[in-house]
Amino acid sequence: MMHIKLRPLETDDMPLLTKLSKNWEEENSCYGYQRNEAAYFDKYRVFVAESDGKVIGYLFGTVEQSKSMTAIMPASTAYFEIEELYIDPTFRSQGIARAFMKYLENILLSEGIDKMVLSTATKDYKRILHFYIDEMGMSFGHAKLLKALKHADTSLEEHT
């Protein structure tokens, strides 16, 4: 893997950060994804991946206290909710996202936070679940599925 530096966001990173978010929207790889403007990042802890002095990926989220997730953790547990993880397409499948997640995990553990949560709307859900579950060791929480309904023949005859 080429040399990649993982670090917290600095003010000068903002133009490249918003550019990456715009690229993600244009890539159209996640249902409903809309680019973030600079101010959006203010309320989050943002980390970036840098290659040759250029930001090529980002990861951000925030610490929350659990309220309505008692099925997966006791009430009032502190956890980090990952809002977004993005790596520039030309840098993918080289282990950068994996290293990024590990980097975040170590920071969180050093702060006494031992749980991370995320939701994904990535269209290639089989690949993304493979990444988070098989490669990152996350466990499955819940899924929301949808079906566009159409009028169809409901007779049972052909099935009997």
Ligand X SMILES: CC(C)(COP(=O)(O)OP(=O)(O)OC[C@H]1O[C@@H](n2cnc3c(N)ncnc32)[C@H](O)[C@@H]1OP(=O)(O)O)[C@@H](O)C(=O)NCCC(=O)NCCS
Contacting positions for ligand X (CB under 6 A): 24, 29-30, 85-87, 92-98, 118, 120, 122, 124, 127-128, 130-131
C-beta of 157: minimal distance to ligand X in Å? 42
CB closer to ligand X out of 6 and 30: 30
Tokens, residue 5: 């530096």
CB-nearer residue toward ligand X: 75 or 133: 133
Q: Rounded to an integer, what distance in angstroms lies between the CA atom of residue 53 and that of residue 108? A: 25
User: What is the SS3 assignment for 1?
Assistant: coil
Least Å from the CB of residue 160 to ligand X: 41
Nearest approach in angstroms of CB 24 to ligand X is 6
- CA-wise closest residue to 102 among 78, 132, 74: 132
Measured in degrees and rounded to the nearest 5, phi and psi for residue 97 equal -60, -40
Residue with Cβ nearer ligand X (54 or 127): 127
Minimum CB separation of residue 42 from ligand X in Å reads: 20
Residue environment code for 69-80, b if the CB has 16+ CB neighbours within 10 A, otherwise e: beeeeeeebebb
Nearer to ligand X, 70 or 95 (CB): 95
* Shortest Å distance, C-beta 5 to ligand X: 14
CA of residue 70 relative to chain centroid, distance: 22
Q: Which of 79, 111, 86 is nearest to 100 (CA)?
A: 86
Give 87 or 108: the residue with its C-beta nearer to ligand X: 87
